[in-house]
Amino acid sequence: MIEPVELLAEHKHGLRLLSPVMAAAGTGVRPADAAGLGAVVVGTLTRRPHPPAPLPRLAESPAGLVHRLHVGTASLTQALRRHDWATSAVPVIVSIAGTPADCAHLARHLDETPGIAGIELRLWDRDADEALIVVSAAREASTLPLLAKLSPAEPDLLALAQDCVDAGADVLVIGGPLPAEVPALAGWLSGPALLPLVVPRVRQVAQAVDAPVIGCGGVCVPADVRAYLDAGAQAVQVGSAFLIHPFVQEIFATYNYPNPLKEDDQ
């Protein structure tokens, strides 16, 4: 039996995941196809739409792929026109990116949009100073639970994680693709190759910072979820595994993930 995870018991809205396994931003999984997931992160949305990157947009690398997929994103207006968030049985978190002013604008609109469980700020491709300004701007614009997604490659990750929490982030997501290059293109590395790199970063942040942590990178099978939960994460985000299995949540559905908070009580 998979148990729900309440990440923010003290928060006005709370953030209750139906299970510890979420769909990460950029997978394109629609809430209607998300049954069995703890939550789905939609987007990343930007204030204005961006055209897709020129070809080639991806190339395989050992145990993963290098890509430029997460840049071509929909605008909030486009997403709102066709969204099915309000009727979703699975909690919907919206990922946003842009300048601090853009993120404040988007956060304000999302605050007034029914059916949204939280806002995730895509900060893994920003420098630390910018990231903090975006967190502050979004915090001022919205009372929704705020998730800050930080790169495990950030040199001073612990300091940035603490600063983001101080600036108003409610949850830390450690993960997202890493900058990488193969002969065909320079872009971002995703896939199972990331797992052993991200898990120790999740452990460091979970031990040092007093905020719920979500791990993201390379999750393909239940044992990978276990690795993140054992490192102190309360949930995981699944990204590239959706490229292989459109309903990859079925792989995780039969697995029992004891609630880590309850384990602590034992």
Task: Decide: is 14 part of the binding site for another protein (CB under 8 A).
Answer: no
Task: Decide: is 244 part of the binding site for another protein (CB under 8 A).
Answer: yes
Task: Decide: is 246 part of the binding site for another protein (CB under 8 A).
Answer: yes
Least distance CB 90 / another protein (angstroms): 16
Task: Decide: is 245 part of the binding site for another protein (CB under 8 A).
Answer: yes
Number of CB atoms found within 10 A of residue 131's CB? 26
Least distance CB 191 / another protein (angstroms): 5
Q: Which of 57, 108, 126, 226 binds another protein (CB under 8 A)?
A: 57
Of 60-68, 80-88, 103-111, 147-155, the window that binds another protein (rule: CB under 8 A) is 60-68
Binding mask 212-231 for another protein (x = CB under 8 A): --------x-----------
Number of residues that bind another protein (CB under 8 A): 29
Q: Which of 8, 243, 253, 261 binds another protein (CB under 8 A)?
A: 243
Q: What is the DSSP string of the chain?
A: -PPPEES-TTSSS--EESSSEEEPTTS---GGG-TTSSEEEEEEEBSS--PPPPSP-EEEETTEEEE--SSS--BHHHHHHH---TT-SS-EEEEE-S-HHHHHHHHHHHHTSTT--EEEEE-TTS-HHHHHHHHHHHHHH--S-EEEEE-TT-TTHHHHHHHHHHTT-SEEEEE--EEEEETTEEEEEESGGGHHHHHHHHHHHHHHSSS-EEEES---SHHHHHHHHHTT-SEEEE-THHHH-TTTHHHHHTS----HHHHHH-
Of 7-15, 95-103, 156-164, 241-249, the window that binds another protein (rule: CB under 8 A) is 241-249
Binding mask 65-94 for another protein (x = CB under 8 A): x-x-x--x----------------------
Task: Decide: is 247 part of the binding site for another protein (CB under 8 A).
Answer: yes
Which residues contact another protein (rule: CB under 8 A)? Answer: 26-29, 51-52, 55-58, 60, 62-65, 67, 69, 72, 191-193, 220, 240, 242-247
